[in-house]
């Protein structure tokens, strides 16, 4: 990897998801997203085992930026589940970055720039497209195997307990592409046990562009706020009564 690249985090604000992706997406860079869906939340929660204070992970999905095509859109390669009307895409696939432009669905985004040269970018995308062409599958089974390994750290360096041939979930797919170039994003972790949080925390020199919004309050949070306001109102009323 280029020696000139240093680990750095650039926090970005005031941009929409679309503006952020248009500004920082480049071929060969890695994308990360965090969402509010049930699967996203389950993945983020499971990654709490990677944190000493058991804070949830921020990332639930990882993908590779491919570049702008003749249609004027920036495309990505990812291993994912997609449900359309009467159609299901399950596996390594190509999609437009526009699927991540909805701020409500994807409140946090990151772009990781590893400073790859043209030859490295070509090798990365070539392998990704090969997996698209050969219909490599998305592995829910391996995802569950990783969830088991997160609860038992000694399993993280071993083969995924539920490993399958020609299949991988999102961050395992990204790790696979980089390993093909001889780069270990998560040393000591089996490729098929790699999480999106592992990719984000990699020690491989890179620059992270981070767009993070405040998470919407849950109904429980809103209830707590109403209770606090009610209590403060009652206290102020009591103080006035005492003074009078």
Same domain for 77 and 121: yes
Q: Is residue 158 helix, strand or coil?
A: coil
What is the dihedral sign for C-alpha 16, 120, 79, 144? Answer: negative
What are the tens digits of pLDDT across the range 53-76? 999 999 999 999 999 999 999 999
Same domain for 142 and 32: yes
Is residue 2, in this structure, part of any structural domain at all? no
Is residue 1, in this structure, part of any structural domain at all? no
H-type alpha helices, 79-218: 118-133, 140-151, 170-180, 196-200
Is residue 65, in this structure, part of any structural domain at all? yes
| Number of domain units in the chain | 2
Same domain for 207 and 229: no
Same domain for 64 and 181: yes
Same domain for 242 and 174: no
Same domain for 166 and 119: yes
Same domain for 84 and 175: yes
Q: Which long-range contacts link 83-92 to residues 24+ away (Cβ below 8 Å)?
A: 90/137, 90/138, 91/135, 91/136, 91/137, 91/138, 91/167, 92/128, 92/131, 92/132, 92/135, 92/136, 92/137, 92/138, 92/168, 92/173
Same domain for 190 and 137: yes
pLDDT of res. 119: 96
Same domain for 166 and 106: yes
**Domain region containing 226:** 216-244
Is residue 37, in this structure, part of any structural domain at all? yes
**How far from the centroid of its chain's Cα atoms is residue 155's Cα?**
22
Same domain for 172 and 109: yes
pLDDT of res. 144: 93
Q: What are the per-10-residue average pLDDT scores of the chain (244 residues)?
A: 72 96 97 91 94 93 97 96 64 95 95 96 97 92 94 95 93 96 95 97 96 60 56 66 62
d(CA 43, CA 49): 11
Same domain for 177 and 106: yes
pLDDT of res. 220: 47
H-type alpha helices, the chain: 17-24, 38-46, 118-133, 140-151, 170-180, 196-200, 219-243
Is residue 237, in this structure, part of any structural domain at all? yes
Give the relative orientation of helices 170-180 and 118-133 as an angle to the nearest 10 degrees: 130
Residue tagged 């767009």 (tokens): 211
Question: What is the pTM for the complete model shown?
Answer: 0.83
Give every CB contact of residue 114 below 8 A, 6+ residues apart in sequence: 1, 5, 28, 29, 30, 183, 204, 205, 206
pLDDT of res. 237: 65
**Tokens read off for 160:** 């995924």
d(CA 117, CA 15): 28
d(CA 124, CA 65): 10
Q: Which of 27, 24, 8 is nearest to 16 (CA)?
A: 24
């Amino acid at each position: 990897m280029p020696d000139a690249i240093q680990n750095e985090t650039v926090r970005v604000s005031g941009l929409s998801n679309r503006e952020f992706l248009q500004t920082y997406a480049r071929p060969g860079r890695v994308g990360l997203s965090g969402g509010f869906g049930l699967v996203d939340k389950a993945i983020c929660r499971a990654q709490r085992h990677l944190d000493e204070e058991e804070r949830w992970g921020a990332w639930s999905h990882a993908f590779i930026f491919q570049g702008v095509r003749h249609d004027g859109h920036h495309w990505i390669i990812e291993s994912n589940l997609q449900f359309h009307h009467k159609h299901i895409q399950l596996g390594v696939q190509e999609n437009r970055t526009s699927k991540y432009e909805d701020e409500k669905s994807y409140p946090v985004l990151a772009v990781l720039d590893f400073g790859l040269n043209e030859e490295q970018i070509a090798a990365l995308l070539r392998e990704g497209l090969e997996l698209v062409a050969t219909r490599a599958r998305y592995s829910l089974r391996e995802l569950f195997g990783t969830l088991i390994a997160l609860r038992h750290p000694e399993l993280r360096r071993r083969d995924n307990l539920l490993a399958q041939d020609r299949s991988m979930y999102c961050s395992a797919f990204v790790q696979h592409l980089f390993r093909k170039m001889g780069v270990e994003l998560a040393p000591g972790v089996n490729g098929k046990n790699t999480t999106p949080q592992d990719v984000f925390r990699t020690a491989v020199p890179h620059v992270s562009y981070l767009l993070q919004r405040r998470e919407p309050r849950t109904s429980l949070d809103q209830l707590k706020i109403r209770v606090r306001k009610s209590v403060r109102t009652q206290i102020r009323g009591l103080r006035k009564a005492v003074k009078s």
